[in-house]
Amino acid sequence: MARNPRYDILFEPVKIGPVTAPNRFYQVPHASGMTNSLPRVRAAFRGTKAEGGWGVVCSGYCSIHPSSDDTPLPFARLWNDDDIRSHALATDAIHEHGALAGVELWHGGCAVMNRTSRIAPLSPSGISWASTHVGFMSNIHSRAMDKHDIRELISWQVGGARRAREAGYDIVYVYAGMGYLPYEFLLPDYNQRDDEYGGSIENRVRLVRQMIEATKDAVGTDCAVALRISVEELSKRPGTSLETEAHEVVSLLKDVPDLWDVKMDSSPTDCGPSRFAEEGSHEPVVNFVKTLTDAPVVGVGRFTSPDAMVSQVRRGVLDLIGAARPSIADPFLPSKIEQGREDEIRECIGCNICIASWHDCVPIRCTQNPTVGEEWRRGWHPERIAPKGSDARALVIGAGPAGLECARALGARGYDVTLADEKSEFGGRLLFEAKLPGLSAWMRVRDYRLGQLHNMANVELYKESALTADDALTFGFHHIVTATGGKWTRDLWKEAEVPGDALRHAKVFTPNNIETGVELAGKVAVFDFDFYYMGGVLAEKLARDGCDVTYVTPAGYASAWSIMSNELPLVHRRLRDLGVDIETLRRVTAFDGDMLSLADVYTGERFEHACDNLVIVGLRRPNDELARDLFARRDEWRDHGVMSVTAIGDAHAPGAIAHAVHSGRSYAEGLDQAPNVVPYKLDEPFASIVE
């Protein structure tokens, strides 16, 4: 199909200093969890995006010196020749498809703990970041930099820039954002110096200017130099000569960098989940930058709509459409727009499971795109899959996230597939969850896959088809896949920090009861030890429905695990705004229909709470009755031509939607393939042995 002419502007080249981006699609720097320890995994991941049409593909944050050590979080580095070799794999993979490669050189300042290097963190004035996230806490404080330290920092930036050029990068960054060291010099909260680097905005911007100028000298005419800067906090501070300090910083540096990469200050606002931030949410904060500089500007906003992208360019907000999460969800987003296939874009749902993976210190994963991180180690590709290995026919029972992805991938391989579900609508758990407050974008998981399935002649879809083991065995399929989901239990949380002792009472409910239409009223307690989104979003729903809601959890926060996905502060604000009472470090011990009994998880102190209804959001178990029935009749399989029965997704082990989708893809990739003892290739870093 031909490209829609109204999107032509997105495919115009953009000059960035001495280099030219082939189009306006710019994969901004983002952490991937694929560092120098996984050079081939990283190269394939970034190279796939270049293959998919991104005109610029950047690295994640890349340390310039051991005093910028983010261990155990997976950061890249450019410290020595082995690091150059490691990065060259990625730049070669990016250049192979005609894209520019960018590197985000980074010094974390007092925002890193230097756990491995054990070097005291650096800061402008000895003021440390006081994070409330245990992963970022430290009992060592930063030290104030003197003039020698500043000269050293600039020399580290220069060394990193020279190594970046040698590794093949086309765009080299100075990173003054997100609380990192150059950014710390911009804000008086951190910078209380009384020399030429502190005080006035002109002084506070001096270090950033010197780093950009030194970087330009280091790379010469081979590379462009970009400034990545957070402007959210600076925009809140009145300027002395211009509207805000953000305006003044941009004005003072307007002609210095070749590219402005503008962003927010903290992860919850910079990478806002769709539950709390719409597409293009950065615009009100960053839209002034292009009015003050002639250099091109790139920014993000979880852009998935080409019309929204065009609007940003035509209205003079951005020159380049930046993306992190959308480029993960669909590395081929630009190519699909260019080929007139924008209806096939695998749109980011903004769940932030990618960010949570980085916080987990592993290669990132994606709910929409199960091939992320698997490009090299398993050989998976977001748009291609190996042809079928036999003429076997497959029956997939259950059309939730796992079943949909399994059927789609099997169909793409060329197998004859039947997908059956007992409900009148496909989607499984998504049918309920996407109707909860803020989660409507999650239905994209279903819609993308159904769109693909409807175009496959070798796939048959059956709704309202509840199947028994007899049905499955006698239909003549060679492979049976049960993707029947999971169910919530009424188990309580015990002192040993394990679920158990189901609470049985007519006024005790689970999310499944809410899903089936049970309406609650009066005083409702939500007891959450699932710790992810469900407890918090149900409390929000019930409060919006008019209930008097108390949220109870044995954790120290509401939706405690959502700190990993950048949602935690936003959840707390939302619940407080809705009048939800939050009781942390409490466990439910009993409920009689009128009074809820609680105990402090550490002291055992007892509390009573008047309550009309209790919703328990804790343990989930597989809906595996069908699978167990089929396995119990294993002796009959051969008589019916059945070669395998496999449970996938929540029916195998309940988890996040990302786990279910990956499970579906994994089954489809492995069908008719010889099993490996180690299911994926093991990457190795480049490292010289130094005595």
Sign of the alpha-carbon dihedral angle for 72, 75, 79, 80? positive
Query: 10 Å Cβ neighbour count for 139?
Result: 5
675 forms bridges with which residues in the sheet? none
Q: Which amino acid is at 114?
A: N
Kindly list the distances between the CA atom of residue 20 and the CA atoms of 12, 55, 96, 98, 664, in Å, as whole numbers in the listed order. Answer: 10, 9, 16, 11, 40
Helix, strand, coil abundance in the chain, percent, nearest 5: 35, 20, 45
Given phi > 0 = left and psi -120 to 50 = alpha, else beta, which region is 20?
A: beta
Handedness of CA 448, 451, 457, 463 (dihedral sign): positive
For the record, the structure tokens of 383 come out as 């748009």
CA-only gyration radius of the chain, Å: 27
Query: What span, in angstroms and rounded, lies between the C-alpha atoms of 161 and 219?
Result: 6
Q: How far apart are alpha carbons 26 and 7 in whole angstroms?
A: 15
Amino acid at 333: L
Helix (H) or strand (E) holding 161: helix 147-167
- In whole angstroms, give the CA distance from residue 31 to residue 366: 13
Q: Are 554 and 529 in contact (CB under 8 A)?
A: yes
d(CA 459, CA 455): 9
d(CA 302, CA 276): 12
Bond preceding residue 296 cis, omega within 30 of 0: no
Token pair listed for 327:
């480029």
Alpha carbons 309 and 569: distance in angstroms, whole number: 29
| CA 394 – CA 412 distance, rounded (Å) | 13
Active site residues: 180
